[in-house]
Structure 1
Amino acid sequence: MSRLTSRPVLVAAAVVLQLALLTVAVWPQLSARLTGTRYRLAVGPVDPVDPFRGAYAALQYPGLPVARGLRPGRVFVPLTRDGAVWKGTGVVVARPAAPPYLTCETRGEGPLSCGIDSLFLPEDAARRVQEELRDDRAAAVVRVDDQGNAAVLDIEPR
């Protein structure tokens, strides 16, 4: 058996490949969390906490636009300050020249997927957040990097 096909070398290569694939898969969220700037976006509930899924809340953002008549694929949402929160100013297909903006995916119609559509919370915090979401007095704390990748960190009162 040659050195390049020995069992330890093959196992090491498989581990390195898996780590590389994992890094590629989570890079947008990781980049936003590590290098992003903090923004607050108005947020509302889509689904209540589901006891079978845990305290995993689906979120909607009333300040972000909805896709209408677009080609499916990557789009961008420039952000602008609106009082204490930020909101989207529209959907564009060309990457904006300067941040802040969100990089999103669209199916052509309906809500955009910008990587901030859900949040897992500890059970004790989930009840508080659901009340704030229900009463329309919550903001999502997100980090957005300079490429528009976003990660939701927390929900807090507006």
Structure 2
Amino acid sequence: MDHHDLVRVSKRISLALRHRPDRFGLVLDRAGWVPVTDLLAALGIGRAELDAVVAGNDKQRFVVVRGADDVDRIRASQGHSVPVELGLAPAVPPDRLYHGTSERVLPAIRADGLHRGRRHHVHLSPDVATARRVGARRGGAVVVLTVDAAAMAGAGHLFFRSDNGVWLTDTVPPRYLTA
């Protein structure tokens, strides 16, 4: 599988597991899991293609586990716009986290902070390089915001860490952000 094919299949898997399982005839369980065989049939791909996408995804967007029933299951690590309960426990974040975004939305973020939009949480990166890559997806000039996660946690904001290391929280008020 070349890079273009990996990206194309990864986007289809993301759509199926994060946003539109109904479009593919899939039913996610409460925690977002679906049998691998169901996903393969719904997308018309083989196990080797799926394994290549899971292994080759730089952000480790997907997790595959074998259940007690010997059935392999897959879910997206985070980023769902459909109702799921990932079962993540609150975690103490590092003092600083980062959020990459486009310069064109900076005035709105400075005024209102970061909000989850259609997703379950705001996504924050543990390092500047990752935040810069995330921000670059939006096009235009990239701005990396620093989040004072220690102060937020001290004020009672909850943080969660997904399976792939992305930090999640409900909102980031503007007073905790610096550009």
TM, length-normalised to structure 1: 0.24
Which protein is bigger by CA-based radius of gyration?
Answer: 1
Report the structure, 1 or 2, having the larger helix content. 2
TM, length-normalised to structure 2: 0.22
